[in-house]
Chain A
Amino acid sequence: MHEAIHISTRERAEIRTRAGLAAEAVAPNWPLRAFISRNPLGDYQDERFEEAVRTASSRTGGRGYAALESYRAWYREGRIAKTDLEAALAEQVAHPDAQVRLPDGGELDKREVLRIHLLQALKTPDPLALGCELNSSGHPWRLDPALAPEARAQTLLPNATEAESAQALWEIIRQSQASEDERAAAATPVETEGARLIERDLARIGHGCTLADWCDRLFGSQVRVQMLDYLIHWIAAFLDQGQAVWAMPRRERDLYQTWRSLAHWDFAPAPGAPRGFRARLATLPDDPEDLIIASLRRLGVPRTLWQDYLSCHIARQPGWAGLIRWRASNPSDWWQQRHPASPTKYLAIVLHLEAEAVEAECRRRLGIAGRLDAIRDYFDGRPAEYLARHALGEDWLPPDLERRVRRACRTWWRPGAPTWHRLAEAVRGSRDGLPGGTAARSAWPLFRLAQHLGWNAERLGAWPQDRLQHVLKQLEGWLASLPAEEHGPIWLAALERGYRTGLIEEIGNAYRLDASPVEARVETASGDTAPAQTESTRPLAQALFCIDVRSELFRRALENLGGYETYGVAGFFGVPFSFVGFNSRYRADLCPVLLKPSHRVSELPRPSAERVEQHLAGHHFGDTVEHALHDLKGHVAAPFVMVEAIGWAFGLPFVLKTVIPRWYHRLAAAAKRWITPPVPTALTVDKLSPRDAQELVATQQRGRISHALRKELNLRRRMVVSAQTLEELRLAALSQPADGQRPQTSLAASLELDAAQERALVEKLRTEYGINSKVMDALLDRVTQGGFTDEEQAYFVEGALRLIGLTQGFARVVLVAGHGSHSENNPYESALDCGACGGDHGGSNARVLAHMANKPAVRSLLTARGIEIPSDCWFVACEHDTTTDSVELLDLETVPISHSRDIRQLRADLVEAGARCARERCWHLPGAPNGRDPRAARLHVQLRSVDWSQVRPEWGLAGNAAFIVARRPVFRRLNLGGRAFLHSYDYRTDPEGKALETIMTAPLVVAHWINMEYYFSSADNQVYGSGSKVYHNVVGLIGVMSGNQSDLRIGLPTQTISSRGRLYHEPMRLLAIIEAPLDRVAAIVARNEVLRRIFHNGWGTLAVIDPESGQILLYAGGRWRDPQSTEALPPNAIERPEGDQRRRAVH
C-alpha cells in the first residue's frame, strides 16, 4: 500500500523539519544521571505566560497554576493577604470598580463579588453534583457548608430551619431566573444540536486532539492507552543504556529500522487490534519521513494541520519524546551515535500505529474508512446519532438509556434498529430532566453567592421582581466574566505580589541603612550574633559559593560568625571543562548544559601517592564483584538457585541499613577504605608542552608494544625488553612502511628474527596495535586538549573575579566552594547536585579554579591586567555537602605551612556554620528536631543522607523565588530564608555592563529554568512532575517510570515539592532584583532575546535598584513602573544608549 505513494525529496525534507519542530511541544529530557532543571514549557516562551500555559494545557492536559484549593488555603492562612488579592483583581479584571445599586439601598461592588467567586468557586455544577445538593423535590436541603458564621446568621430566616431558609432563598432565585434557556434548548431540533457538536469536536482535531483521542471519546475505545503501552516497551528497550540483561537485537540500526525489522516478531496485539497488521509491516517504506506523510494522508489530516497534529502526538508522551528530542540534539552522545533516535523516527511509528488503529475502529464501529473526511461525511448525515454516541462517551446516561444507546451502537445497521432521532431525543430529555434541569444549574452559583453576601429570602422577597432580576443578571454577568479557569492567574499574581512587596521593601530598607560604612553588630532571626567588624579590617577569609539558594543559608551562618566575606557565583566558577575522575570510565561535562567545553581535565594520583596499586586492584575487584552479581541477578537460572545460595549476602546489609543506617554506613565506608585505600590526587589543569605531550604519548605506546611483544612472540614474563629496544620498534612502526632498507632492530637480532618476520611484526604493531603516525597525531591532539595554558588560566580567573567584583582587598584565604549532595537509594540524587556543573558535584570545579589562582605565572599575568593577588593569599578548594551541611577542604597538601593557623580556624568555623545551617533547615524538614541544638540537627541531617528509606533527604531548591544580583552589603543584613539565588556583582567595576550581561544571560537564565521546573512540578505534579517516588522504577538507566510501565517521568517528584499533601514549594515566577544603573539593565534586556522573552512575556519579573537614586523600579510586560503604582513610567524616564534606539528589521 505504501509503495504506491509518491513522495518527493522536497516533501521529505519539509516533514523532517516539521517533526523536529513538533518535538518543541515538550522540553528536552536529559538522562537521569545528570538531572537538569529546565522549563517544561521553554519552547512556549514566545507567547505570554498565560497564553502559553493555556496552549500547553490543550496539548498535555497539564494545569498551569497550582490547584485553586492550595491558593484558597494560603489565603485562609494569611499567606495571601486580602489587599494583595484585591490588587491582583484590580490589575487583571476589566472594570473592577463597577457597582450595582440594590433595590433596598446601598451598592454592591464587583470586586467583592469576584473575591467571593475566587474563594468559593461559584461555578455551574455538573448534573450529578447538583443532584447531590437537591432533595427529591428539587430543593436544596442545606445552606452552603463553607458559609462564614456572620453570613450564615444573616441568611437564616427567623424561626425557620436551615433547610427551610435554603429552600425559600432557592425558590426566589430559581424563579427569577428566566427559563428561556430551557425552552430554547427544547425548541432546537436534536439534529441541530448534534451538528454543532460534530463541528466542535472535529475542529479540535490537530488542536490538542488526535483522531485516536476522538475515537476513544466517541467509541469508548482504548486506542490511546494501547498505543502508549505498545510504544513504551519498544522505546524503553531501544533506548536502554545498560540496565537490560538482554539488550534489544539490531539496535545498531536506528529506532525506526530496528522496530520495522523486529515488529513482526511481536505477537502482542497491536493498538486497536487491526487485522493484517503484522503482514503489512513488510510493506512499510524505508524512510520514516515517507511513513509519516503516508499516515497523515491516510488519516485525512489537512496539510495545514500537519505541524500541530505531530505536536499533539509528541505532547502525549512528554517523557519519552523529550528524551528522544534530547538525543537528537546531542549527536555526539555515546548512545546516540550507536543507537540513533529522532522525533522523525518516533513519529513514523506513532502515526502508523494510529492510522492502523483508527482505521480498525472506524471500520468496526461505523463501517467507514478511518479518515477525517470520511468521518465528517458520515456524521454530517447523522447528527442525531452523533449526539447520542457523544452522550455515551460522557458517561452520565442513566443505566437503562445507556443500554439502549449501546444496543443501537451495536445494531444500527440491522433492519428494525431504533432510530437515532428517538434516542437523541431521549438523551436530551434525560439531560434536562436531571434534578433542577438546565436553568437550575445556572441558578446555583447565584444561590451560593447570595448566601455569601448574607442575603436571605425575606430581603430578596421584598425587592420588586424586575429589580431583582436586574441585580441577579448583573451578578451573573460578573461571575461569567471570570470563569474558574481564569482564577489561577489572579491567585498567582496575588501570591507573587505579597512576596515581591515584602522583599523589595526589606531590600530597600537595607539599601538605605547600608549608606553607613560601619557594620553594626548583626543579630539574626535564629538569635546568633556576630562581632562588630569594619570595612577596613582584612577579612579572615573570603568565600566563593554557588548561586544556589541553599548557599544563602550557609553563607549567612558563616558570615554571622564574623570575619568572613562571602560571594555568589555560578558553581562552575566560569571554567567549563570535561572531566574524567581517577579510575573512572566516564567523562562528565562539568559546566551548564548549554556549554560545550573545549578543555579536558583528568584526575591522577599525586606523584607522592602511596598504595595506588592497591587502590586500583581494590577498585577492579569491586567492579568485578558488582558485575558478577548484576549478571547473576539477571541470569535465567537465578530465581531458582540464587536466593538459597547467596541470598543471605544481601539479607544482612538489608537488615543493617534498615535498623542501624548510620552505623552501617560507617562500616561500609571503612570496608571500602580497606579495599580501595584513598589516594591523594591532583588534576591536570596545566597544559603539557609539546615535548612533554610527545613523551607522554611515547610512554603509552612503549607500554603497548611491550604488551604486544609478550602476546605475539610469547616472550616469557620475566624477560625484560629494554626501553631502547621498545623505542626502536616504536620508531620503526611510525616510519614509512615502504622502508625496506632499514637495519634490523636489536630485538630482531637478539631473537634471531629474519627480515620478513620483523616486517610482519612491525606491520602488526602498526595495524592491530595502533602504533602509527595517524593514531599518534590523534593521541597528541587529545593530550594537548587537556588542561589550560597560563594565558587561558589567567583569563578564566580574571573572568570569575571581575564577574563578582572581587578585584582587590584579598584575604589570606579565599575559599572556593563547590557543592554536591549525598543520599541513598535516590534516583534523583543528581537533582540535588550543582546544576551549573551539569548536575554533578562541584568540588572538581573548585579545585581547578583554586589551582589556577594559586599558580605564580597566572598571578603575574593577573597583575599585569590590574588584579593583584597578594603573595600571602591562598585559594582553598572545598565541597559543601548540602544534605549534611558538612564542608570538606580539598587539596590541603598544597597549602603553604604559613597558612596552617588560618586553615585550622577556617575548619572549625565551617563546622560551626554547618551546624547552624542544619539547625535552620531542620525547622522546615518533616520529622526533624526543631529545637535550638545545632548538634542534634547535624546528627539528624547526617542520618537523612544515609537512610535508604528517606524520600526527602533535603528540600533541595524548593522555595526558590528570587534571584538577586548585587553587592553583598545590599542583602547581608537580610534573612532570605533560603529562597534566593545570590549572585555577587559590583556595578562600579563594570562600567560597560559586560559582566552584568553575562550574569543576566547565563546564571539568571539557569535560575529561571530551575524556578520554572519547580513551578510546574508544583502546579501539576502528575503532568509536569514525576509523581510519588514510592512508585518509581528506574528504566534503562535513563529515567524513572511509575509502576512497571508508564511514560518516562519528567520534572520533580511529589516529595521534593510537598509534604503531607500540602505544597511546601509555593509556585511563583522568578523575581530578579539587580543593583545596577537602570539604563544599563534596560539596554541589556533590550538587546537579548532570551531576556525579552522572560520579562516581556511575563515568565518572570525584573526589579532594578538604581544605585544613583536608590529607587527600585519594576519591569514587567515590557514597561517600567514604581512597585507601588500600576502606572508605567514615561519612555524618556529610561535613558537608553544610542545604539539601542535603532530597532528596525533588515532581513
Chain B
Amino acid sequence: MSELHSMKKVEIVIGGEQLEQVKELLAKLKATGYTIIPNISGMGHHGVRTGHLMFNETTSLAMLISVVPAELVEPIHAGLMPLLERHSGVLFVSDVLVGRPVQFSK
C-alpha cells in the first residue's frame, strides 16, 4: 500500500441561497475541488429543514465537502464565520488520510 498523507476534510452545510458565496470563497482560496450534495434535510437551531420543496435549490440546505491542506482551514473558517453568524449552517473540520495529496492542493 502506498504512503498516506494527512490532510483536512472540510464539510460545510449551508442554505442553498448562500452556496454560491461559499463556492466563491473556496475558489478564491484555491481549494481545488469539492463535492456538493444538494437538497439535504436536517434539524438545528433554525428548526427542521426539509428537502422536498419546489424551491429546493434555494430553500433547502446543501452540503459541500472538500479536502484541503491544513493551512487553508483557518482562512476558510475566517471566511465562513460571518456567514454562519447570520445564516443557518455548520462547519465541520476533521483529519483525513489521502493517497495522492497533489490532487487536493494548489
Contact = CB atoms under 8 A, between A and B. Distances in A.
Interface residues of B, number: 34
Nearest to A13: B79
B55 A594 contact: yes
B54 interface: yes
A1001 interface: yes
B39 to A, nearest CB: 12
B102 interface: no
B20 interface: yes
Interface in A819-867: none
Given A13-B28, A595-B57, A1001-B59, A1145 B78 contact: no
B32 interface: no
A9 B73 CA distance: 11
A20 B21 contact: yes
Nearest to A1084: B50
Interface string A8-33: 01111110111011001000000000
Interface in A303-328: 307, 328
A574 B54 CA distance: 9
Contact of B78 (A10, A595, A1146, A1147): A10
Given A21-B83, A1001-B54, A1146-B43, A10 B74 contact: yes
B80 A595 contact: no
Interface string B35-53: 0000000011111111011
Contacts of B80: 17
A17 B20 CA distance: 11
B81 interface: yes
Given A595-B54, A1002-B53, A17 B82 contact: yes
Contacts of A595: 54-55, 57
B82 A21 contact: yes
A899 interface: no
Contact of B55 (A342, A1005, A1143): A1005
Interface in A992-1043: 994, 997-998, 1001-1002, 1005
Contact of A11 (B17, B59, B78): B78
Contacts of B50: 997, 1087-1088
A123 interface: no
Contacts of A997: 50, 52-53
Contacts of B43: 1142, 1146
Contacts of B25: 13, 16-17
Nearest to B18: A20
A1092 interface: yes
A911 interface: no
Interface residues of A, number: 41
Contacts of A18: 82
A1145 B42 CA distance: 11
A1147 B79 contact: no
Given A13-B25, A16-B25, A328-B20, A21 B78 contact: no
Contacts of B59: 594, 1001, 1088, 1090
A1001 B75 CA distance: 35
A789 to B, nearest CB: 20
A12 B76 CA distance: 10
B44 A13 contact: no
B70 interface: no
A1002 B56 CA distance: 10
A342 B48 CA distance: 32
B71 to A, nearest CB: 9
Interface string A595-609: 110000000000000
Contacts of A10: 74-75, 78
Contacts of B55: 592, 594-595, 1001-1002, 1005
A52 to B, nearest CB: 14
A933 to B, nearest CB: 43
A997 B55 CA distance: 11
B106 to A, nearest CB: 12
A983 to B, nearest CB: 13
A1092 B47 contact: yes
A290 to B, nearest CB: 13
Contacts of A329: 17, 20-21
A1146 B54 contact: no
Nearest to A23: B21
B83 A16 contact: no
Interface string A1112-1147: 000000000000000000000000000010110111
B54 A998 contact: yes
Contact of A17 (B21, B44, B49, B74): B21
A653 interface: no
Contacts of A1087: 47-48, 50
A232 interface: no
Contacts of B5: none
A422 B60 CA distance: 65
Contact of A1143 (B47, B53, B75, B86): B47
Contacts of B48: 1086-1087, 1140
A577 B95 CA distance: 42
Interface string B8-31: 000000000100110011001100
Contact of A9 (B20, B21, B24, B29): B29
B29 to A, nearest CB: 6
A20 B80 CA distance: 11
A1089 interface: yes
B24 to A, nearest CB: 8
Nearest to A22: B82
A398 interface: no
Interface in A580-631: 592, 594-596
B11 to A, nearest CB: 12
Contacts of B57: 594-596
Nearest to B79: A13
Nearest to A1000: B53
A1088 B60 CA distance: 10
Contacts of B78: 10-11, 13-14
Contacts of A24: 86
A635 B59 CA distance: 48
A17 B85 CA distance: 11
Contact of A14 (B46, B52, B79): B79
Contact of A1147 (B21, B28, B45): B45
A429 interface: no
A331 interface: yes
Given A20-B21, A331-B20, A1143-B47, A307 B82 contact: yes
Contacts of A574: 54
B90 interface: yes
A227 B104 CA distance: 43
B45 A17 contact: no
B58 A594 contact: yes
A1141 to B, nearest CB: 11
Given A331-B20, A1087-B47, A1089-B47, A998 B53 contact: yes
B76 A13 contact: yes
Contact of B79 (A17, A342, A1140): A17
Contacts of B21: 17, 20, 329
B50 to A, nearest CB: 6
Interface string A1081-1105: 0000011111010000000000000
A21 B50 CA distance: 25
Contacts of B46: 1089
Interface centre among B25, B44, B48, B50 (most CB of A within 10 A): B48
Given A1086-B47, A1143-B47, A1147-B90, A13 B29 contact: yes
In the complex, the 9 A-B pairs of residues with the closest C-beta atoms, listed nearest first: A13-B79, A1002-B54, A1147-B44, A13-B75, A10-B78, A1145-B45, A1087-B48, A594-B55, A14-B78
Given A10-B74, A1089-B47, 14 more contacts: A10-B78, A13-B78, A17-B21, A18-B82, A331-B24, A342-B24, A592-B55, A595-B54, A595-B55, A997-B52, A1002-B54, A1002-B55, A1086-B47, A1089-B49
12 contacts: A12-B75, A13-B25, A13-B75, A14-B81, A17-B80, A18-B82, A307-B82, A997-B50, A1089-B49, A1140-B48, A1142-B43, A1145-B44
